């Protein structure tokens, strides 16, 4: 291997820049040439590459987003798009790919590898933390801390005005952000895609809480929960509470606020560790793997294994939320 390309794909995540920087610098130290593909897989298809040197990645570690840009490329989903991408890689003599992104990125990398056999390694980066083969994805820690801070702020106003707040956090198919932000922000309940909604149980707890003198409540709702988010949960909860207890409520959708911002120390360290590990992996002949961290160890998982791997929420944390939530 002589020349690699690095790209970021899917939803941007804080800490992607740390992973780019580490991949580039580790690759240069190993004597490889490095290109950055712009805007994810689109860069491969459209032949949009930039040579990267050690100085190209100066002063990016502390920045959110991704210096390479990202996209959810539809062209790369077609055979014709991937054919163009392979041709462009060949024309730059690129014989290795480091792909930084989430589940969709890993799936696209697998298909591309099956078709063109270009050695590829995926670094998990997604605020949703929905990628198997790693305990945490780059970006998750920063997103959770942002959501937790927002919940803290909301609690101040909820408490002062005696309201119920329904706070919607991101998480399309997984409730990691809701669980961690809810637990660390002292939420009274969370609604997540992994669990069946129980509106009646929440209402009972709210009524009991009111009777016991509790004046405000914070309910965290993952955008991907079964009814489709915080507005829907709020509507059904307040309807059921009608005639039982007077409620004043508000809904706050945190949205893309969770995607931006200065990456946390954890995300910078994780991005750096996995970026360097990917280059080391190439040196050892690894290809078509996800480079993750499990129990503080670097673990290479074959991409074709990922779809069948369970991505379960930590049961002990879920249980904790149920036992220390509203009483």
Known catalytic residues are 128
Count of CB atoms situated within 10 Å of the CB of 236: 16
Between 35 and 176, CB nearer to ligand F6P: 176
- Residue closest to ligand F6P (Cβ): 11
Count of CB atoms situated within 10 Å of the CB of 149: 15
Distance CA 71, CA 11 (A): 7
Residues that bind ligand F6P (CB under 6 A): 10-11, 126-128, 170-172, 223, 259
Interaxial angle between packed helices 103-116 and 79-91, expressed in degrees from 0 to 180 and rounded to the nearest 10: 70
DSSP codes joined into one string, 83-131: HHHHHHHHHTT--EEEEEE-HHHHHHHHHHHHHH---EEEEEB-TT---
Between 178 and 183, CB nearer to ligand F6P: 178
Taking CA 301 as the corner, what is the angle to CA 299 and CA 306, rounded to the nearest 5 degrees?
135
Between 259 and 268, CB nearer to ligand F6P: 259
251's CB contacts (< 8 A; 6+ apart) are: 165, 166, 167, 168, 230, 231, 234
Least spacing, CB of residue 128 vs ligand F6P, in Å: 5
Least spacing, CB of residue 57 vs ligand F6P, in Å: 23
Least spacing, CB of residue 181 vs ligand F6P, in Å: 13
CA atoms within 13 A on the CB side of 151: 30
Between 258 and 288, CB nearer to ligand F6P: 258
Kindly give the pairing relationship between strand 49-51 and strand 33-37.
Answer: antiparallel
CA atoms within 13 A on the CB side of 102: 20
Alpha helices by DSSP H, listed for the chain, are: 16-29, 41-45, 79-91, 103-116, 140-161, 176-184, 199-211, 230-241, 265-283, 315-324
CA torsion 160→257→59→10, rounded to 10°? Answer: 160
316's CB contacts (< 8 A; 6+ apart) are: none
Between 9 and 272, CB nearer to ligand F6P: 9
Between 71 and 326, CB nearer to ligand F6P: 71
Least spacing, CB of residue 12 vs ligand F6P, in Å: 8
Least spacing, CB of residue 10 vs ligand F6P, in Å: 6
Between 143 and 321, CB nearer to ligand F6P: 143
Count of CB atoms situated within 10 Å of the CB of 165: 24
**Based on C-alpha coordinates, what's the Rg of the chain?**
22
Least spacing, CB of residue 127 vs ligand F6P, in Å: 5
Least spacing, CB of residue 9 vs ligand F6P, in Å: 10
């Amino acid at each position: 291997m002589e020349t690699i390309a690095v790209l970021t794909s899917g939803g941007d995540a804080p800490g992607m820049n740390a992973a780019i920087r580490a991949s580039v610098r580790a690759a240069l130290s190993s004597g490889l040439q490095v290109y950055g593909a712009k805007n994810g897989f689109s860069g491969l298809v459209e032949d949009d590459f930039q040579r990267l040197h050690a100085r190209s990645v100066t002063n990016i570690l502390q920045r959110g987003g991704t210096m390479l840009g990202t996209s959810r490329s539809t062209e790369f989903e077609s055979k014709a798009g991937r054919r163009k991408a392979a041709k462009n890689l060949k024309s730059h003599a690129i014989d290795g790919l480091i792909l930084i992104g989430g589940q969709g990125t890993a799936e696209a990398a697998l298909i591309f590898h099956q078709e063109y056999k270009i050695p590829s390694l995926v670094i998990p980066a997604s605020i949703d933390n929905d990628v198997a083969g790693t305990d945490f994805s780059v970006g998750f820690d920063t997103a959770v801390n942002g959501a937790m801070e927002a919940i803290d702020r909301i609690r101040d106003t909820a408490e002062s005005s005696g309201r119920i707040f329904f706070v919607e956090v991101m998480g399309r198919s997984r409730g990691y952000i809701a669980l961690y932000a809810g637990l660390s922000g002292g939420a009274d309940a969370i609604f997540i895609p992994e669990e069946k909604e129980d509106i009646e149980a929440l209402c009972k707890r709210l009524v009991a809480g009111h009777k016991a003198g509790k004046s405000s409540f914070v309910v965290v709702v993952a955008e991907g929960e079964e009814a489709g988010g915080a507005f829907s949960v709020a509507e059904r909860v307040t309807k059921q509470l009608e005639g039982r207890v007077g409620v004043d409520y508000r809904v706050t959708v945190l949205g893309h606020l969770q995607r931006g911002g200065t990456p946390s120390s954890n995300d910078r360290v994780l991005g750096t560790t996995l970026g360097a590990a990917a280059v080391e992996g190439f040196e050892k002949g690894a290809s078509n793997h996800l480079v993750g961290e499990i129990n503080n160890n670097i673990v290479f998982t074959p991409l074709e294994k990922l779809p069948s791997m369970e991505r379960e929420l930590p049961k002990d944390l879920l249980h904790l939320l149920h036992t220390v939530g509203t009483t």
